[in-house]
Amino acid sequence: MDTIITIDGPSGGGKSTVSRMLAAKLNYTYLDTGAMYRAVGLQARQLGVDLADEDQVAAMLADLDLHLEPGDGDTRVVLAGEDVSTAIRSAEMGMVASAISALPLVRQKLTELQQQIAARGRVVAEGRDMGTVVFAKARHKYFLDASPGERARRRLEQLHEKGEEAAYDDILAQIVQRDHDDSTRDLAPLKAAPDATHIDSSRMNAQEVLNFILDQLAKK
């Protein structure tokens, strides 16, 4: 369990950037588990699966053909042979992923896949339940958070960079809603593992967070 570093936290806390940088620095594989939930959400959408119908969900998961291919930047996500890396990144797919991630069958399936990937090598595992459930025995756990206002500001900046327009208040409302949904679900809710190191990145940039984590790792 020395080969696994977990990074959990709410959306917009800076997990993805920091996890990617950390994985590159240490030569670990970056495991983007949010991308996996997004891909399953997309699959359900494409197949018209009724999420309330367990048989339909089970059938979809039994045929799930999902591969993550780590690249230099974002992980390439391949669903049934098709590159869906861009399609899964919309705000709408984030909401779909959040809804589907509350289903026990989905969590069970993706937990298995995540553990299989980690069994093949060293990983920086990023998500909501990495330190609490999927890799509860990991030695290095971090919980990365920032104030909702700061997270909304960062998200807005990302959208602007992509040439998309959005209102700050709408983004903030979405963030608050998703935090609420992710942290109040029964199964594997968003919360810090008791042995995780908390980092509030509201006033830190990605490089500062990375340096802090590298420092901590060196001390252990």
| List 19, 33, 75, 174, residue binding ligand DC (CB under 6 A) | 33
179 binds ligand DC per the rule CB under 6 A: no
Ramachandran angles phi, psi of 81, nearest 5°: 80, -5
> SS3 of 81, please?
coil
User: Taking contact as CB under 6 A, which single stretch among the options 97-105, 136-144, 166-174, 201-209 is the one that binds ligand DC?
Assistant: 97-105
30 binds ligand DC per the rule CB under 6 A: no
Three-state secondary structure readout of 137-178: CCCEEEEEECCHHHHHHHHHHHHHHCCCCCCHHHHHHHHHHH
Ramachandran angles phi, psi of 48, nearest 5°: 70, 35
> In this complex, which beta carbon is closest to ligand DC, that of residue 158 or of residue 205?
158
| List 5, 6, 7, 11, residue binding ligand DC (CB under 6 A) | 11
User: Taking contact as CB under 6 A, which single stretch among the options 67-75, 92-100, 138-146, 193-201 is the one that binds ligand DC?
Assistant: 92-100
Calculate helix-pair angle for 168-184, 91-100, nearest 10 degrees: 10
Q: Which residues bind ligand DC (CB under 6 A)?
A: 11, 33-34, 37-38, 94, 97-98, 101, 127-129, 178, 182
